[in-house]
Structure 1
Amino acid sequence: MWFASGLSALWLVACAFVSTASAKQYHADPNVRSIQLRTHTLNQPYLDSDMQSRWFDFGGDTIIRTDSYIRLTSDRPSQTGWLFSRVPLTATNWEIEVEFKISGKNQLYGDGFAFWLTKSRAQEGPVFGSQDEFEGLGVFFDTYKNNRPGVVFPYVMAMVGDGQTSYDKDTDGKNQEFAGCSARGLRHATVPTKFRLTYFQDKQLKLELQYKNADDWTVCFDSDEPPSLPQVAYLGFSAETGELSDNHDIISIQARNLYASSTPSDSKKTTPGSQKGRKYDKKKKKGSWTWFFFKIIFFMLLCGGGYVGFTAYRAKQRSHRF
């Protein structure tokens, strides 16, 4: 019985270790770990057996091909489509990586698509297919130039909405821009097009793009004074076409919760995502984890042994009574 109890205790510890091991090292900083947010991650085939998604809703002209893409708009005029999470994103620090595709058969094309992290969800409107005067963060992948001299399109820009300010489509949001960059070649790229948005509360908002070469990430913007986002914010996407059109496809969404494993004094030495100025003793960290799990194993075995001994003692007492 002691041996079986010991094995059970070891099994519980092993399960705890596997659960902890699911936290992976963040690609940009060894002092930051990441855990996948399944509630905001979406991959093929996108839908379950009931032809619905457990964590996302979609509507408008959105079409889902379970083996290929979620098409927010097809290459047709006057279309609007959206995709929004059902539950809010509650992580304080997070990273969202999205593979998307913008394509079409016409030489003139538009209008683009948007990424949202907003207080409201799934409301159609005039801003890339979603509502105006939103509260939260919008990142616009604008492929059609209205009136913005000196700027090369496609243009990617972030806007922080306060719930009252409108997006000025006539000037492509020039006065509402928080940060942005030109991304020539984003449409019809020869490699999978992706964006990676990283947010550390009060520390960093960073947008990276992949469209030139595979695994070649271009920093679009990197702000060390990020905006304050709503505590309850839904993740979403939307797109629209007017007289000009394009296919706007979402291929996959990978969402991760980020948390720092360094001490507060270490975190002040540099901004998240940078290894400069940090001392990282892998051997020491590995040893601390080993000692931590050793203590758990010892504690579980001790509890298991005590329980078995107590059970045997009670059984012996009952036998003496008779």
Structure 2
Amino acid sequence: MMLDCGLRTLIVVFCLVNIIRGQTAPEGGFLKREHSLVKPYSGNGMTMPFWDFRDNAMITNNFIRLTSNHQGQLGSVWNKQPCFLRDWETHVHFKVHGGGRTLAADGMTFWYTRERLTPGPVFGSTDEFRGLAIFLDTYKNGQQAVTFPQISAMIGNGSMKYDHMGDGRLNSIGSCLASFRNKDYDTFMSIRYVKQRLTIQIDVDNQGKWRECMDVSGVMLPSGYFFGVSAATGDLADNHDLISIKTYQLEIQRTPEEEAEDWATVLPGIKFLKPPIDNVDDDGKGDYRNSSVSGSKMLLIIICGLLGAGICIVVGYVVFQKRQEQNRKRFY
């Protein structure tokens, strides 16, 4: 009897450890219920407190299935309350799985945007958005030398289109490899925004600890935008399951000048935008490798090339003339 009781206790402890693993509250963080989505999801009937859902999204007791393993689906959940927190951290517990071992599509996205509940071609949500998008992409469209699945981030200004054929590469502010598909354990992502610094971490290796995906400074995100998660399938498909969203308010020391700033009127953008990267040699630090040449540099290169060609022509002509004179003297 004592052995049986002890075994049951161990099982309960093991289950509790697995439930809280990867979702420990950040130091100094306070859970904001109005921006969090946890079980039980439904209040009365098919409604959720603080959250809306649409399209193919389906609520179950244990998860919210944004899309099932069928072609041509899309689904999303969106926070009803705009977020006015200056500094925050959000933990997303998710699961992506399906019948395909290597080929699947399309993926899911975490949003912090002005727009909400608007379906569209970008992983189930609208293009030309304003705010932050973090893409968990499972299908490679472009020809660049990258490995999938991958996670990438983009800051939209309301007119910028998502780069579908390049898998977001032209718009990316950072990316990392993340093998999160078809895992028999829990997978998590952490998004932290503090003093214009965006840090994305993942726990997809069953290690019970965060691993940095990207860390980018100079990110401008207004307050008053909405959190959301969407997913989509195409000719290939996957189950995209959302298990929980936990958002924490962070207590960060600020100067009086910083406190006086009005972040509701800030335009979304990034101060130190550099050319995007392939994630083959990405160190996940937001230190982007130059992969393109600016217009001014290209113009300078062209001018130098033309000058060099002109000098070569002049020198060649002079040498040719001298040789002609020498040949004429040789005959007279």
For residues 129 and 254 of structure 2, the distance between their equivalents in structure 1, rounded to whole angstroms, comes to 36
Larger Rg: 2
Cα displacement string for residues 37-62 of structure 1 (whole angstroms, at most 9, x for unaligned residues): 11111111201023311200000000
For the pair 1:245 / 2:242, whether they are aligned, the reply is no
Task: Confirm or deny: 8 A CA contact 2:144 2:166 kept in the other structure.
Answer: no
Gaps of 5+ in 2: 1-23, 257-332
For residues 62 and 144 of structure 1, the distance between their equivalents in structure 2, rounded to whole angstroms, comes to 21
For residues 208 and 238 of structure 1, the distance between their equivalents in structure 2, rounded to whole angstroms, comes to 19
Per-residue deviation, 1:79: 0.2
Q: Secondary structure at the match of 1:169?
A: coil
Q: Secondary structure at the match of 2:170?
A: helix
Select the residue among 76, 79, 88 that pairs with 2:73.
Answer: 79
Q: Secondary structure at the match of 1:105?
A: coil
Per-residue deviation, 1:230: 2.5
Q: Which residue of 2 aligns with 1:207?
A: 200
Task: Confirm or deny: 8 A CA contact 2:25 2:248 kept in the other structure.
Answer: no
Cα displacement string for residues 152-210 of structure 1 (whole angstroms, at most 9, x for unaligned residues): 10010000000000001111011100111111x211123210000100023x2100000
Select the residue among 212, 219, 229 that pairs with 2:221.
Answer: 229
Aligned alpha-carbon RMSD (Å): 1.7
Residue identity in the other structure for 2:226: Y
For residues 53 and 64 of structure 2, the distance between their equivalents in structure 1, rounded to whole angstroms, comes to 9
Q: Which residue of 1 aligns with 2:36?
A: 41
Task: Confirm or deny: 8 A CA contact 2:67 2:239 kept in the other structure.
Answer: yes
Task: Confirm or deny: 8 A CA contact 1:97 1:254 kept in the other structure.
Answer: yes
For the pair 1:218 / 2:211, whether they are aligned, the reply is yes
Structure possessing the higher relative contact order (Cα contacts under 8 Å, 6 or more residues apart): 1
For residues 127 and 94 of structure 1, the distance between their equivalents in structure 2, rounded to whole angstroms, comes to 25
Cα displacement string for residues 41-94 of structure 1 (whole angstroms, at most 9, x for unaligned residues): 11112010233112000000001102x100000000000101000011110000
For residues 184 and 142 of structure 2, the distance between their equivalents in structure 1, rounded to whole angstroms, comes to 28
Task: Confirm or deny: 8 A CA contact 2:87 2:252 kept in the other structure.
Answer: no
Q: Secondary structure at the match of 1:126?
A: coil
Query: How many residues get paired?
Result: 232
For the pair 1:98 / 2:92, whether they are aligned, the reply is yes
Per-residue deviation, 1:248: 0.4
Q: Which residue of 1 aligns with 2:144?
A: 149
Q: Which residue of 1 aligns with 2:304?
A: none
Per-residue deviation, 1:261: 5.6
Per-residue deviation, 1:142: 0.2
Q: TM-score, structure 2 length as denominator?
A: 0.67
134-143 or 47-56, which moves further after superposition?
Answer: 47-56
Per-residue deviation, 1:148: 4.1
Gaps of 5+ in 1: 1-24, 265-322
Residue identity in the other structure for 1:227: V
Residue identity in the other structure for 2:241: D
For residues 127 and 259 of structure 1, the distance between their equivalents in structure 2, rounded to whole angstroms, comes to 33
231-240 or 185-194, which moves further after superposition?
Answer: 185-194
Q: TM-score, structure 1 length as denominator?
A: 0.69
Distance 1:148 1:254, change over 3 A: farther
For residues 215 and 190 of structure 2, the distance between their equivalents in structure 1, rounded to whole angstroms, comes to 12
Q: Secondary structure at the match of 1:146?
A: coil
Per-residue deviation, 1:262: 8.7
Cα displacement string for residues 266-298 of structure 1 (whole angstroms, at most 9, x for unaligned residues): xxxxxxxxxxxxxxxxxxxxxxxxxxxxxxxxx
Q: Which residue of 1 aligns with 2:184?
A: 190
241-250 or 44-53, which moves further after superposition?
Answer: 44-53
Task: Confirm or deny: 8 A CA contact 1:157 1:179 kept in the other structure.
Answer: yes
For residues 171 and 76 of structure 2, the distance between their equivalents in structure 1, rounded to whole angstroms, comes to 22
